[in-house]
Amino acid sequence: MGNEESSPVDESRPPQTLSERTVKALADYILSGKVSKIVVMTGAGISTSAGIPDFRSPETGLYANLARLNLPYAEAVFDIAYFRENPEPFYALAHELYPGKFRPTVTHSFIRLLYDKGLLLKLFTQNIDCLEREAGVPDDKIVEAHGSFARQSCIDCTRPYPREDIERHINAKEIPRCPVCKGLVKPEIVFFGEQLPAAFFENRTLPMQADLCIVLGTSLSVQPFASLPGMIRESTPRLLINKERVGGLGSGTDDVLLLEDCDSGVRKLAKACGWLEELEALWSKTAPKAAAEVAKASSGLPKTKDEALNDEIDKLTREVDDALNLSKRHEEKVRGEKTSGTSSSRSARKTSSPTSTDPGNLHESADGNLNHIFMPRTVTATLAPADSLHPVDEAKKDITASGGDDKQ
């Protein structure tokens, strides 16, 4: 069952399990004590309100860096054969999307609430963003059908790679390599040309045990994930919260449709169950510290002595760091001017000619990183060649030293 349409159920046919095909009836069913095994199936629609950019939209900014690398086609960034030849585009994307930069949505917290109430049998997700985990859904309750950033390994020897190490490389805009065989390291996201995780096939029939199925924010257009709602028993209610009807949902006698965005839909269900306050409280715990501070400032409440002291220490630390950075940049600038005649040519040769005997420097700049991809957004495409970026970076330092914007 994919995203094909089927005729909606005849309204004259009574439901088998629910009293009626409404959110209230569904809530009554959940609260009746007859529900203990809820299967949730999710897609990208549950993460859009988190601010995660649309992968394909040219206005999101994700392709602003990737366009310089002249991808043969958009999906090449997730093609395993292309990744082996050129991992730069994927790691440029990973730098933008890596977990920790986005807050889980109300929908993610709703799934966590189902777990807290002992109702979640399993979450099947197509998303790679790990926001379910950040919302507090435990690993053993999640089946990531297309993999995720949660784990990483070498694509050659399959040796697991430490999370803290890949975080360091991604934050530094570097390409990680296996310390043993020097093969490329990749998060265990399923690329084109790779098999789905074994966990998906091991749990694929689990929906048959469910007494409720909730489908959230997915087009159900990718197989074999799209077949999951069809695994549900005929008498088991299915709830679809999505902006459009998909996958034939709505044709079952106990199907309930909420054709709207996921966050508003789960709030409606939570309210009908009497859980709305719990849901909002749970979601508030996912707010970053900065958001909590802004909320407190806007409330007009005075800061405690400890908070005021910490603020002052943070301010002094930033001022010292800024002063040291400016001094370092000035020193580097002066040194660069003195040695530009010889060192620039050596740097250019090193950047443009990686040695075939050292796999660690393939696809990387002379500094072993991806800074040649992450150019300042004000620099035009005519400055794209890697060996021409050092003067641009130097000019950027001058702008910073004179009070300009140093954001990338």
End-to-end CA distance of the chain: 44
What's the CA gap between 342 and 154, in Å, rounded?
Answer: 38
Q: 317-343 b/e with 16+ CB inside 10 Å = b?
A: eeeeeeeeeeeebeeeeeeeeeeeeee
To the nearest 5 percent, what fractions of the chain are helix, strand and coil?
Answer: 45, 10, 40
What's the CA gap between 276 and 253, in Å, rounded?
Answer: 27
**Residues carrying an active site annotation:** 146
The predicted model scores a pTM of 0.70
Q: What is the pLDDT along the chain (408 residues), one digit of tens a residue?
A: 444 455 677 777 899 999 999 999 999 999 999 999 999 999 989 998 998 865 555 555 455 556 666 788 878 889 999 999 999 889 988 888 888 889 999 999 999 999 999 999 999 999 999 999 999 999 999 999 999 999 999 999 999 999 999 999 998 889 999 999 999 999 999 998 899 999 999 999 999 999 999 999 999 988 999 999 999 999 999 999 999 999 999 999 999 999 999 999 999 999 999 999 999 999 999 987 544 443 444 344 555 555 565 566 555 555 555 555 544 554 555 455 545 444 444 444 333 333 333 444 344 444 445 544 444 333 333 323 333 333 333 333 343 333 444 333
Q: Which CATH number fits domain 23-53+101-284: 2.60.40.10, 3.40.50.1370, 3.40.50.300, 3.40.50.1220?
A: 3.40.50.1220
- CA 260, 266, 268, 273 dihedral sign is positive
Domains in the chain: boundaries: 23-53+101-284, 305-401
Contact in structure between 72 and 82 (CB atoms under 8 Å): yes
The pLDDT of residue 51 is 85
Adjacent-strand bridge partners of 255: 238
Q: Which helix (H) or strand (E) is 26 found in, with range?
A: helix 23-31
Contact in structure between 84 and 155 (CB atoms under 8 Å): yes
Contact in structure between 99 and 149 (CB atoms under 8 Å): yes
